Amino acid sequence: MLVFSYQTKYRKHLNEIGVNVRAFKNILPIMLCLSINSGALANEMKNCEERTNKQQIAKVFKNYMIKYNHFITKQELKLTPELYAQQVMLMTGNGKSTTLTPEKMNQGVTGFLTQLKSKGVNKIAWEAVEIKLLTDNIALASNIAVRYLANGEVYDRAGATYFLNKAETGWEISAFALHAPDKTINFSSES
């Protein structure tokens, strides 16, 4: 019906500009179908890109824990893969923020993990890693880390929320805030 009314209404105009109405009648449904399918394809490509970015960000946090646990067991902080941007902002509950280079950040991590190890912590794992893409190259992650003693008991839980950016080398942590684990953001329930 759509094709017929379109054909009737514009037949004279189409003939004037040299369009074969019969051919146009056959091509129009194909053009409509391609138009609809290209929108679905573009949407699926966007969803695929979002899944890929989230997987890459999840890998950053997997590497994060590998580095932390390697230090706890070997007393050596691996320098690769690099997790942090060239300037990282650390925000704490005391209302102060500090900007650190990756070298200073690694020094702070070494001191922090040494303290945890001295208190009996022998493993750290993510309880939750929540990721929300804000743009194609900016994301938030809000995570809960659980720290375990040698006997398997939970020493404590800690929350942190991260800003990440996608650099030429991949996703990297640009800023993070430390907070209570019950203050993490659950992005799963959002659309």
CA nearest neighbour of 106 among 158, 61, 152, 71: 71
User: For the chain, which residues make up each domain, given as ranges?
Assistant: 2-42, 54-183
Instruction: Collect all residues with Cβ–Cβ distance below 8 Å to 185 and sequence separation of at least 6.
Output: 130, 132, 140, 142, 161
DSSP class per residue in 118-161: HTTEEEEEEEEEEEEESSSSEEEEEEEEEEEETTS-EEEEEEEE
- Per-residue pLDDT, averaged over 29-54, amounts to 73
Integer angstrom CA distances of residue 38 from 34, 42, 45, 48: 6, 6, 10, 15
What band does 12 get if pLDDT is binned at 50, 70 and 90? low
Per-residue model confidence (pLDDT) at position 22: 60
Tens of pLDDT along 104-121?
A: 999 999 999 999 999 999
Cβ proximity of 127 and 160 under 8 Å: no
Burial (0-12, 13-18, 19+ Cβ within 10 Å), 95 = exposed
Using CA atoms, how far apart are residues 24 and 45, in angstroms rounded to an integer? 30
Cβ proximity of 116 and 153 under 8 Å: no
Least confident of 32-36, 57-61, 112-116: 32-36
Cβ proximity of 87 and 155 under 8 Å: no
Using CA atoms, how far apart are residues 48 and 56, in angstroms rounded to an integer? 12
Q: Under CATH, which number does the domain 54-183 receive?
A: 3.10.450.50
What band does 36 get if pLDDT is binned at 50, 70 and 90? low
